[in-house]
């Protein structure tokens, strides 16, 4: 499969210009690094959309298999109660079969000395 390594594959939008509750549905083509951060390419009925990917959205999309039908709902700006900082909030919906398994952590051996670090 050929992939584009540069250039703009679709119109990049700004989350500040999107209304709260707006949904984007299409085929997820994956995450790629852009000039100012991560971008996601989404093939929609209206053509390819290139979405900027803040950390909150990156964590959700990183679990989605490329080629999956996905819906990204923009929940607007939300304030973190601990830090008081505002951030863009999202919800991502995808078929269960299109979710990558989460990485699993290995438990330490039962006889491991808690004061020794194995590396």
Average pLDDT, stretch 71-88? 92
Please report, rounded to a whole number, the percentage of residues in the chain having pLDDT higher than 90: 55
Nearest to 67 by CA among 26, 102, 38, 34: 26
pLDDT surpasses 60 at 4: no
- Domain range list for the chain: 11-96
Q: What is the pLDDT of residues 15-64, one digit of tens each?
A: 989 999 999 999 999 999 988 889 999 999 988 899 999 999 999 999 99
Residue 38, judged by CB atoms within 10 A of its CB (0-12, 13-18, 19+), counts as: middle
Q: Which pLDDT does position 115 carry in this prediction?
A: 62
Q: What is the pLDDT of residues 93-117, one digit of tens each?
A: 999 888 887 654 555 555 555 566 5
Assess if CATH 2.40.50 describes domain 11-96: yes
């Amino acid at each position: 499969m050929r992939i584009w390594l540069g250039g703009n594959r679709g119109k990049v939008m700004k989350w500040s210009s999107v209304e709260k509750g707006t949904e984007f549905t299409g085929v997820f083509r994956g995450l790629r690094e852009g000039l100012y951060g991560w971008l996601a390419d989404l093939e929609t009925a209206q053509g390819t959309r290139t979405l900027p990917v803040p950390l909150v959205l990156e964590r959700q999309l990183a679990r989605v298999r490329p080629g999956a039908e996905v819906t990204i709902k923009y929940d607007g700006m939300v304030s973190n109660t601990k830090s008081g900082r505002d951030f863009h909030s999202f919800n991502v919906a995808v078929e269960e079969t299109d979710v990558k398994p989460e990485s699993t952590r290995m438990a330490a051996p039962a006889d491991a000395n808690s004061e020794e670090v194995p590396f």
